[in-house]
Copies of this chain bind each other. A is one copy, B any other.
Amino acid sequence: MTINTQPTAIMLVIGNEVLSGRTKDKNIGWVAEQLTNHGIKLVEARIIMDDHDTIVETIRKLSKEVEYVFTSGGIGPTHDDITTSAVAKAFNVPVLRNEEALRRLKNHYKGTGIELNSARLKMADIPEGALLIDNPVSAAPGFNIENVFVMAGVPKIMQAMLDGILKNIKSGSKMVSISIACKIGEGNLAQELQNIENADDNIEIGCYPWFKSGVIGTNIVVRSLNKDSCQRASIKVKNFIKTFGETPEIIE
């Protein structure tokens, strides 16, 4: 069952440091949560290497599959920052010195004693035709070309960029969800939850087992684009939990 009046998106994290385990990605979870709140459905997330051809091919493929592709990582001043040139290549446009990006960088570094050298100037190089994405933290902008939004990898900067982006793009229907916790193993819930899910095409039910201090339990999440469906199903779930002599607990 797929219900979808929501734009779809893929998150693409670019960086060897994430795949080596040196850096633990925090951007996917953040983007996932923000998109959900915005009514955009994240259908996949992917982490790839700082490899030019890999980035080019991945951007070309994914940008055709969904409404929005968000990327993080690889737009800084150093030699391993190759995302900008790879994304430009994916859309067959040149990378050009962007006057507005240059103005922002000059303004940012003015009076800091930090030289706007050739490495830093690279951050003013943007694919032709792309729109700048504001960076209120450290000035160097991200950019939007076609349906691809290219953001910094540093979480604080990525989060600020995403805030700006989400104010300007089409949002979708909000997913409503009700989360219910109980001290019952998921194996005892499985069959009836499937029945409840099957009874209404508008809902999805997720089951997440937990173990705390020797106690086994399950969090049940009912999700729907339709508020009434969500509530009806969650009442069924709560009543079912009560048949075990347990008190369902609404969480979050």
Contacts and interface: CB of A to CB of B under 8 A. Distances in A.
Interface residues of A, number: 67
This chain's copy number in the assembly:
2
A119 B187 CA distance: 5
Interface in A194-243: 194, 197, 204-209, 211, 216, 221, 223
A21 interface: yes
Majority-rule SS of A interface residues: mixed
A190 interface: yes
Interface in A7-37: 16-25, 28-36
A85 to B, nearest CB: 14
Contacts of A207: 76, 78-80
Interface string A24-65: 110011111111100000111111110100000000000000
A118 interface: yes
A191 B118 contact: yes
A67 interface: no
B22 A221 contact: yes
Nearest to A34: B21
28 contacts: A2-B51, A16-B204, A17-B221, A18-B28, A19-B42, A19-B44, A20-B32, A20-B33, A20-B36, A21-B30, A21-B31, A22-B36, A23-B208, A24-B29, A43-B49, A44-B48, A45-B46, A46-B47, A78-B186, A78-B207, A80-B206, A114-B185, A114-B188, A115-B187, A119-B187, A122-B190, A138-B211, A154-B209
